[in-house]
Structures are given as structure tokens and as C-alpha cells.
């Protein structure tokens, strides 16, 4: 499945403008033959916007989800995006996957909150593995810091995830995560990882870009630079099956030794 990675911070603080950016990117992705467009962490609202995160938070089935479902169906491309999710009085750092016909397929709440900023604004989720079927692949969701815990990615691998989507807000000086850790996570778990970052400065944070789609051989199929970009790469189920046959990590585990 051809996958488009939207490396952009959009317009922090403006849901309306970010929906326009997403709409335009979906059109470009579809024209390039992509079946899936992935946007960064908290793309709908912006990341470093303080108390506006709570003000702009929406339910998983809110107005913005409806708008994204409409643009996904209009362009014929599935969309995964980060947003602040409101459930009653609780706000989560969430990511949602919507199919190319506008169906809401999966919603994930970030389980590992990074730093005081996130801990002050969100409640952590409790469901570690969220998946959906898309384009002949089992697609899973994590968000940014989640992928830095090897247990999280291994849980996805054991649950059968083929393509792990990771909307992220990776900041300086931790660019080694995008450069080195993500390809290793893909290889050691024998899956594809789409790691999609923000760029530029927001408040106290400097986002480093370097979005990548890494394959099960540990090779980056696509890698963005430090500016706004739309990059594309394929997650190939045939190549994935061959790699899993050649690399028996999951078959040769001895979990009785690890507890």
C-alpha cells in the first residue's frame, strides 16, 4: 500500500486551517497513487498551544472527524491524524484512522505521555494495541513517545500488526529516534513503521522533521528532511512475508525467560 507521510505542523491553533492543509495533502497523496495519508501528532490543533488544547479538543466522532471523513471519501484515500480527544471532562492525546470511504476504523489514545507539558494537559490511555484492516494490511497505531518503549512495538508485532502508524512531535535533541531507533524497531519486530513528524518551532519546542517509513529489513523506504514535505513509500505485504520468513525473531522468542 502506497503511504504518504505529511510532514507539517500545519497552522497551530487553527482547526479550520489545518483541515485545509489536510485536504490539500490528501489530494496530492491520492494523485500520487497513495491509499493512506498519515499526519503528525496533534495535527488537527497544533501541539504547543497550551490551554487551547483542552478548548479545541473534540470527541472521536466530532465535527472534525466528520470533515476528515468527507475529505477522505472525496479524494479516495484513508487518513490517519493526531488530535486532542475529549471524552466527558477528560482529554487524551489521540490518533484516529479513517478509511477511504469515510468510515472511522480505529481510535488510539497515547499511553506514554512525554514530559511535564503532556502530563499537564492529557490523561494517558490504557489500551496498548489498537488495530484495523486496511489495504490488505493490519494497521496499528502508536503516538510518538510510545514507540520508544520496545514493549509497545513488540506487543503490536505479536498481535499481527503489519504497518505501524506513529504520528509524532519529535523534538531537538532527540532526532536519533527518527534516524536510528525507528529502522531498528521495524527490523526487530518485522513490520513497517510510518513515523510522521512536525517541523519548525512551536513555543519552547523545535521539531526536527525526518519523517520516515522504515521497512522490516531496517531500511528507510522514504525519509523527509527538516522542512514541510509530503513523502511517499510502499508497504509491500509480499516483501513483508518474505522478510518474516527470513528473520525468525518472533518465532524464536523464549518468553518464559523474560518474565
Active-site residue flag, 41: yes
Grid cell, residue 92, equals: 487524551
Do 100 and 76 form a contact (C-beta atoms < 8 A)?
yes
Return the DSSP state at 226.
Answer: S
Measuring CA to CA, which residue among 154, 156, 127 is closest to residue 140? 156
Which of the residues 58, 85, 118, 144 is marked catalytic?
144
Assign 146 to helix, strand or coil: helix
Distance CA 63, CA 19 (A): 11
Distance CA 1, CA 47 (A): 29
Which of the residues 58, 85, 110, 202 is marked catalytic?
110
Cα Rg for the chain, rounded, in angstroms?
A: 17
Distance CA 249, CA 253 (A): 6
Active-site residue flag, 20: no
Q: Kindly report the number of other CB atoms within 10 A of residue 127's CB atom.
A: 9
Active site residues: 41, 110, 144
Amino acid at each position: 500500500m502506497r503511504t504518504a507521510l505529511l510532514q507539517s505542523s500545519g497552522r497551530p491553533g487553527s482547526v479550520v486551517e489545518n483541515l485545509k492543509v489536510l485536504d490539500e495533502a490528501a489530494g496530492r497523496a491520492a494523485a500520487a497513487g497513495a491509499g493512506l495519508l498519515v499526519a503528525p501528532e496533534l495535527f488537527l490543533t497544533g501541539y504547543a498551544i497550551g490551554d487551547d488544547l483542552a478548548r479545541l479538543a473534540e470527541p472521536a466522532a466530532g465535527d472534525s472527524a466528520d470533515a476528515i471523513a468527507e475529505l477522505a471519501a472525496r479524494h479516495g484515500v484513508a487518513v490517519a491524524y493526531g488530535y486532542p480527544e475529549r471524552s466527558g471532562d477528560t482529554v487524551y492525546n489521540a490518533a484516529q484512522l479513517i478509511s477511504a470511504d469515510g468510515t472511522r476504523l480505529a481510535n488510539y489514545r497515547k499511553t506514554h505521555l512525554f514530559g511535564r507539558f503532556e502530563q499537564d494537559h492529557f490523561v494517558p490511555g490504557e489500551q496498548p494495541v489498537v488495530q484495523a484492516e486496511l489495504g490488505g494490511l493490519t494497521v496499528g497505531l502508536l503516538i510518538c513517545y510510545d514507540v520508544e518503549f520496545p514493549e509497545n512495538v513488540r506487543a503490536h508485532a505479536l498481535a499481527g500488526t503489519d504497518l505501524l502508524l506513529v504520528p509524532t512531535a519529535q523534538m531537538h535533541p532527540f532526532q536519533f529516534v527518527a534516524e536510528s531507533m525507528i529502522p531498528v524497531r521495524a527490523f526487530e519486530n518485522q513490520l513497517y513503521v510510518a513515523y510522521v513528524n512536525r517541523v519548525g518551532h512551536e513555543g519552547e519546542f523545535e521539531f526536527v522533521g525526518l519523517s520516515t517509513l522504515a521497512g522490516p529489513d531496517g531500511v528507510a523506504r522514504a525519509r523527509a528532511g527538516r522542512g514541510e514535505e509530503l513523502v511517499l513509500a510502499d508497504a509491500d505485504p509480499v516483501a513483508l512475508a518474505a522478510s518474516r520468513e527470513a528473520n525468525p525473531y518472533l518465532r524464536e522468542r523464549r518468553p518464559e525467560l523474560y518474565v
